Amino acid sequence: MARPAFELAGTRVEPGGRAQIDVPVAKLYTHAPLHIPVEVVHGRQKGPVILVCGAIHGDEINSVEIVRRLLRSRAIARLRGTLIAVPIVNVFGFVQHSRYLPDRRDLNRCFPGSGEGSLGSRVASLFREQIVDQATHIIDLHTGAIHRTNLPQIRAQLTSHPETASMADAFGAPVILNAELREGSLRHYAQNRGVPVLTYEAGEALRFDEWAIAPGVRGVLRVMRRLGMLAGEHRRRRPPPAEVANGSSWARAPIDGILRPRVRLGARVSRGQVLGLVADPFGNAEGEVKATADGIVIGMGNLPLANEGEALFHVARFEAIEEAENAVESFQSDYEPSNGLS
């Protein structure tokens, strides 16, 4: 029996077909229409409907490249179920190289949104009604903010849905953060609807970090395989299982000044260890940035200029720190992130 066609924003995609759909969001005040670009791949056989979306924060372009490579991947030719791929959700911010919307709102704090609210609220509402609400599973792709980089990591509430932990495990990122939800985020909205959802955080805003993109593409394909959407083999060896962090905290600049980092992204550090030095330009005053716990550096600032109190090193804590270190080392030998120290 043939599967029904999939319909998105008035476009029908027949089983075995794919379509690129421009979902109208708004008009610019120049009168130019603005669209969210979407590609739907509708398999011949039934299965989950997975939404993979990037650039809800408009400057997080690693995520856009992950979606492009996913859509070019031959693995999805014989898909079971449906892939809704949205390379750029915040099209306004993407054009402006900005994380935010033109009204300076963060789209990822605007869900579920409303058709009568602010611009952010309207875009969230439209994206939700046309696209998000059709998905049975979601992977939301992010990077660190501007001048900040993240070791590839999955953020999810692992106990929220029986499938969430399985998706997080399948992804194969070196670190999983059992992260709390931000009110108004896509993840918060989806999870409250009972939809299993992962956030992948990797690399830096406004950059292409190959060590964030390549494992992102593989991770999405691995999740789709786990969900039974893709047949076929794992061509690559499976990475060691990620350790789940049981918390994280930021080490902050003790004084205003210029930072010299002393550790790399992914480093294992111990409580009290000096992660970097901050000095004024003369070197008269110098302060140490110290780790507040044993853990792994999963995020750090790349801009060497810091104000007192600025978050510089994100350290995740683990029950099984050895295993966490192994997972990160294995990841780094595969992808070799180079960062921080020269």
> SS3 for 212?
helix
Report the nearest approach of Zn ion to the CB of residue 153 (Å): 12
Q: How far apart are CA 260 and CA 281, in angstroms?
A: 12
Report the nearest approach of Zn ion to the CB of residue 143 (Å): 6
State yes or no: residue 218 binds Zn ion (CB under 5 A).
Answer: no
Closest residue to Zn ion, judged by C-beta, is 142
Q: Which stretch binds Zn ion (CB under 5 A): 52-60, 128-136, 175-183, 285-293?
A: 52-60
Report the nearest approach of Zn ion to the CB of residue 46 (Å): 32
Q: Which stretch binds Zn ion (CB under 5 A): 81-89, 136-144, 298-306, 332-340?
A: 136-144
Report the nearest approach of Zn ion to the CB of residue 144 (Å): 8
Burial of 69 (0-12, 13-18, 19+ CB in 10 A): middle
Which of 18, 105, 122, 142 binds Zn ion (CB under 5 A)? It is 142
Question: With respect to Zn ion, which residue has the nearer C-beta, 86 or 291?
Answer: 86
Q: How far apart are CA 291 and CA 316, in angstroms?
A: 10
Q: Which stretch binds Zn ion (CB under 5 A): 26-34, 50-58, 212-220, 251-259?
A: 50-58
State yes or no: residue 18 binds Zn ion (CB under 5 A).
Answer: no
State yes or no: residue 57 binds Zn ion (CB under 5 A).
Answer: yes
- DSSP E strands in the chain: the ranges are 6-8, 11-13, 17-27, 33-42, 45-53, 80-86, 137-142, 148-156, 175-178, 197-204, 243-245, 247-252, 257-261, 268-269, 274-279, 286-290, 295-301, 305-306, 311-317
Question: With respect to Zn ion, which residue has the nearer C-beta, 40 or 298?
Answer: 298
Q: Which stretch binds Zn ion (CB under 5 A): 71-79, 135-143, 172-180, 321-329?
A: 135-143
Question: With respect to Zn ion, which residue has the nearer C-beta, 42 or 105?
Answer: 105
Per-residue tokens: 210: 């190959």
Q: How far is CA 321 from CA 293, 308, 318, 333, in A?
A: 12, 30, 5, 18
Q: Which stretch binds Zn ion (CB under 5 A): 20-28, 35-43, 55-63, 221-229?
A: 55-63
Cβ atoms of residues 139 and 85 within 8 Å: no
Per-residue tokens: 56: 């809800």
Query: Of 206, 71, 86, which Cα lies nearest the Cα of 141?
Result: 86
**Stretch 300-319 residues interacting with Zn ion (CB under 5 A):** none
The DSSP output letter for 2 is: P
Question: With respect to Zn ion, which residue has the nearer C-beta, 60 or 209?
Answer: 60
Report the nearest approach of Zn ion to the CB of residue 185 (Å): 9
- Count of positions on this chain that bind Zn ion (CB under 5 A): 3
Report the nearest approach of Zn ion to the CB of residue 159 (Å): 23
**Stretch 255-284 residues interacting with Zn ion (CB under 5 A):** none
Q: How far apart are CA 36 and CA 26, in angstroms?
A: 10
Q: Which residues bind Zn ion (CB under 5 A)?
A: 57, 60, 142
